[in-house]
Copies of this chain bind each other. A is one copy, B any other.
Amino acid sequence: MFDIPISTLRYYDKEGLFPTIKRQSGIRKFSETEIEAIRVIECLKQSGLEIKDIKQFMAWCEEGPSTYKSRKELFEKRREKVKEEIKNLQKTLDMLRFKCWYYEVALEDGNEENLNKMIPNNLPPEIKKIYDNAHKDE
């Protein structure tokens, strides 16, 4: 269903990521609660959060309404992080686009002589744009 190895689910359980999971003669029963937990784990992991901090979040869920604020703030912080990460990846993507163009031309020309003359100020306008974005500082 989620394409997560069994060993990983057991590891997550060991790390306290399924605090309310039920067992039937020793065997873990994944209910809708755990299914949604897995979605949240995947989400928080992709946002760059470490396992131990995801555990903290799960503990807050157990604690009840008194932790709504902490939980909200956690998600807001993660949202900002992911926005930033997407922006970084867009810069990375521009570098990759530039390099794709570069090697397309190199392949046509058989060498990089003309290319080296074009960089950085004689590039075609659309290419100059992605080149500049890929090479800017911040």
Contact = CB atoms under 8 A, between A and B. Distances in A.
State which size class the interface on A falls in: 35 or more
Contact of A68 (B75, B78, B79, B103): B103
Interface in A57-85: 65, 68-69, 71-72, 75-76, 78-79, 82-83, 85
Contacts of A78: 96
A10 interface: no
Given A82-B92, A83-B93, A89-B86, A103 B46 contact: no
B96 A72 contact: no
Interface string A100-134: 10011011001110000000000000000000001
Contact of A99 (B75, B86, B99, B100): B75
